Amino acid sequence: MSEHRYDPRAIEPKWQEIWERERIWEVSNDEVEGAPKSYVLEMLPYPSGEPHMGHLKNYSVGDAVAHFHRRNGRRVLHPMGYDAFGLPAENHAIRTGEHPRDSTAKSIAQFQTQLRRWGLSIDWSREFGTHEPRYYRWTQWLFLKLFERGLAYRKEAAVNWCPVDATVLANEQVIDGRCERCGNLVEARQLEQWFFRITDYADRLLDDLEDIRWPSHVKTMQRNWIGRSEGAEVTFADPETGSEYPVFTTRPDTLFGATFFVMAPEHPDVLRLTAGTEHEQAVRDYVNKALTESSDERSDTDRTKTGVPLGRSVINPVNGERIPMWVADYVLMEYGTGAIMAVPGHDERDFDFATTFGLPIRRVIDCEGELPCSEDGRIVNSHPDFDGLHNRDALEKIVDWLDEQGKGHRSINYRLRDWLLSRQRYWGCPIPIVYCDACGMVPVPEEDLPVLLPDVEDYAPKGRSPLAAAEDWVNTTCPSCGAAARRETDTMDTFVDSSWYFLRYTDAANDEAPWDPEVTNRWAPVDQYIGGVEHAILHLMYARFFVKAFADMGLLDTQEPFNALFTQGMITRDGAKMSKSKGNMISPVPYVERYGADTARCYILFIGPPEHGADWTDKGVEGVHRFLGRLWRLGADVAASTGKQEPLGPLDSPEGDDLELMRKAHWAIDKVTEDMAGRFAFNTAIAAVMELVNDAYRYRGTVHPQTLHFATATAASLIFPFAPHTGADVYDMLTGDRVWEEPWPAADLAMLERDTVEVVLQVNGKLRARIQVPADASREALEAMARDQERIQAHIDGHEVVKVIVVPAKLVNFVVR
């Protein structure tokens, strides 16, 4: 019908140029009276290669939220940056010979081009990469603050070592015993490394989850990762050697059922206890075997339990029983005390072990069913003081008794370990520490920061940091005494960089400090954070820890970095995860070129609920493109007939089709607003605008021009957060105004209510008729009208009406016999 053609290739650059030239999305740090702030943030991209569909989804969601908040009168901070240090860039460099500095710069340039091409409403004035000295200078500064407070420290420990990437890894980066990055089996190595004392914050990290609006499964994952267990530490003694062995148990109520005692192969006393005895050789062999096993093999719960006796025993403090000591690999050195009391009657693992080695099994709780059984019940076979008590009550009493006797006390254990942050890799933030023979470990003075990452030609991993080869850089003088000294050559885990970037955005140009608390407290915390669920533990836990630590130092007021979190699902192709190795990556580029950014953005939001994964189909993209084209052409046609005008005061008292279309427009306003504000239901929000446009086409021949004008301008206004160029263009054609300066439309509630409504008439719950009735018809009136209906009479005549259910404005149901 229209000769007008929807041409995103003309429309999109036009609006992007205006936004960029007038710096529309930049926001100042000044406080504005009466304008509440909103900090909307998507997780920053890792610049390796080109942006992919996951980025398009992430930023389409975030941009829609940012636009919605802006038009609802908030001052929105919506920045962007790059998480530029890290292994993938370095591994890429090793493969291709291209320096990480260069490949990263190239990738960042691609992101910059693409993100602008997508028309995102970003405040580019705050942009940075975490690999830039002006940023990592402050990463180092923050490290030193943590070091000052004892929250960063060095210690020797058994750590995870990836032989392929030739570096240590944090616990969080080991998945099923394998390196998160390269997938190879991880080895245990005894090394001195840098740690952050995140375990000091375990309780606060756990408790404060209550106060933030995060998806419950993410909270659950964090709770599990912290793994707080309440119980008791109980001391088992060996009077012969005079040694005492504390164990941690969550079930001190089962102490009387302990029939043996097990130590981890790594326990330092295992070899000592057997030295010179007949058991020495067997124990030595067993320990050696256990230590060389991969953590993968060792953590296989299905395999038969193994272990060997130590030939020694300890005394159970509650009943004086001597129980034999064993060493077995199902006991872990890292958790608790590295030794356990074994209660085979009430613990599945101990039961398996006891069954394998013919050790006694004793029931001490009268729980239902066969042993082993971990249910609650009454205490039996234990001690006259406790027998008959419910085990939970007995637990408290037993711990009190142990405490009085000095044989134990209440205790809490966590699964969470300190965060191992040092990496023996090149492409990372240098750790600002100097080693001096006289002064020991000396922090680099603040005024000497940043410690620049030196240019190194050979950055291949060799088991020690490639920085160690940069002799000129390594050799320095001690900041404290001036003598010759050496720099720390390890670099920081990339997660350190990304644990505070959201704070830097608030005051990105500051070269006196990482941020000015005055300024940052105006923006922080992030009001809405958006990103992939794959960061549920690592990044989100580390960032929370940093914020709490900085708050303790007085650098921040907030205790939590991200007030609300939204996790988006993955985009797949033919049901399969996209990956470079599978060769099924879809780049957004051809879609953006062919259909425009608005189509690509709308489609990725329309495809389904954004928290779910979704499969990309080319046909679906075309459908959304058709819709945007329909809207645009409608706008062009209406503008051609009405000219530019203010959104009308439409007809004073619209009737017929005018009224229907007006109602639809207000319905759509209400629906989109609900879907945006309450939840992230972008798919149904877009569907509502589609319905409005469909109705506009349906009624275009029969309504007044001003009604059509109103409906079309409303559709443009509502689609703007998802398709900003099209929304702005259509709105401009119709009104000459800038849609982003318009307040978010408000639905006229009177338009949502109807004078008459359709009421469903049922007999025995089956639909038998429908009638139009006044919306405010009373129950009695409704029932009377229903009884008058022929079809209802046909179904109730000759039956006894037992009950009539009337739901005003909804239905009438006759229950008959």
Partner RNA sequence: GCCCGGGUGGCGGAACUGGCUAGACGCGAUCGGCUUAAACCCGAUUGUCCCUCGUGGCGUGUGGGUUCGAGUCCCACCCCGGGCACCA
**Least CB distance to RNA at residue 377 (A):** 17
**Site for RNA contains 805 (CB under 7 A):** yes
Tell me the torsion sign for CA atoms 522, 528, 529, 533: positive
Selected binder of RNA within 67, 126, 251, 544 (CB under 7 A) = 251
> Which range of residues in 109-117, 511-519, 550-558, 621-629 is near RNA by CB under 7 A?
621-629
d(CA 147, CA 149): 5
CB atoms within 10 A of CB 360: 12
Selected binder of RNA within 614, 703, 723, 733 (CB under 7 A) = 614
**Site for RNA contains 817 (CB under 7 A):** no
**Site for RNA contains 255 (CB under 7 A):** no
Return the SS3 of 128: coil
CB atoms within 10 A of CB 539: 19
H or E element in which residue 42 lies: strand 37-42
**Least CB distance to RNA at residue 769 (A):** 5
> Which range of residues in 382-390, 435-443, 546-554, 689-697 is near RNA by CB under 7 A?
689-697
Q: Which of residues 51-110 bind RNA (CB under 7 A)?
A: none
**Strands of the 167-169 sheet, one edge to the other:** 167-169, 152-162, 187-196, 419-420
Tell me the torsion sign for CA atoms 215, 217, 219, 222: negative
> Which range of residues in 151-159, 194-202, 225-233, 524-532 is near RNA by CB under 7 A?
225-233
Q: Fill in the per-residue mask, 397 to 416: x = in contact with RNA (CB under 7 A), - = not in contact.
A: ----------------x-x-
Alpha-helical regions (H) of 700-804? 705-719, 724-735, 749-752, 779-788, 790-796
**Least CB distance to RNA at residue 199 (A):** 12
For the chain, count helices (H), then strands (E).
27, 32
Of residues 249 and 726, the one with the C-beta less far from RNA: 249
**Site for RNA contains 375 (CB under 7 A):** no
CB atoms within 10 A of CB 143: 26
**Least CB distance to RNA at residue 662 (A):** 18
Of residues 36 and 765, the one with the C-beta less far from RNA: 765
Q: Which amino acid is at 709?
A: H
Q: Fill in the per-residue mask, 161 to 200: x = in contact with RNA (CB under 7 A), - = not in contact.
A: --------------xx------------------------
The single residue listed with the structure tokens 């602008």 is: 116
Q: Which of residues 742-771 bind RNA (CB under 7 A)?
A: 757-758, 760, 762, 764-767, 769-770
Of residues 141 and 335, the one with the C-beta less far from RNA: 335
Looking at 145-264, which runs of residues are DSSP E strands? 152-162, 167-169, 174-175, 178-179, 187-196, 229-238, 243-249, 260-263
Of residues 509 and 767, the one with the C-beta less far from RNA: 767
**Least CB distance to RNA at residue 136 (A):** 29
d(CA 212, CA 805): 43
Q: Which of residues 577-596 bind RNA (CB under 7 A)?
A: none
The single residue listed with the structure tokens 């207000």 is: 666
Q: Which of residues 625-664 bind RNA (CB under 7 A)?
A: 626-627, 629-630, 633
Whole-number Cα distances in Å, 250 to 219, 413, 462 = 23, 9, 43
> Which range of residues in 40-48, 121-129, 224-232, 489-497 is near RNA by CB under 7 A?
224-232
Selected binder of RNA within 145, 349, 504, 548 (CB under 7 A) = 349
Return the SS3 of 305: coil
d(CA 593, CA 13): 12
Return the SS3 of 109: helix
**Site for RNA contains 363 (CB under 7 A):** no
Of residues 25 and 680, the one with the C-beta less far from RNA: 680
Selected binder of RNA within 21, 33, 95, 216 (CB under 7 A) = 216
Q: Which of residues 293-332 bind RNA (CB under 7 A)?
A: 298-301, 303, 305, 329-332
Count the alpha carbons within 13 Å of 412 in the hemisphere toward its beta carbon: 9
Of residues 639 and 690, the one with the C-beta less far from RNA: 690
CB atoms within 10 A of CB 473: 19
Selected binder of RNA within 26, 127, 366, 615 (CB under 7 A) = 615
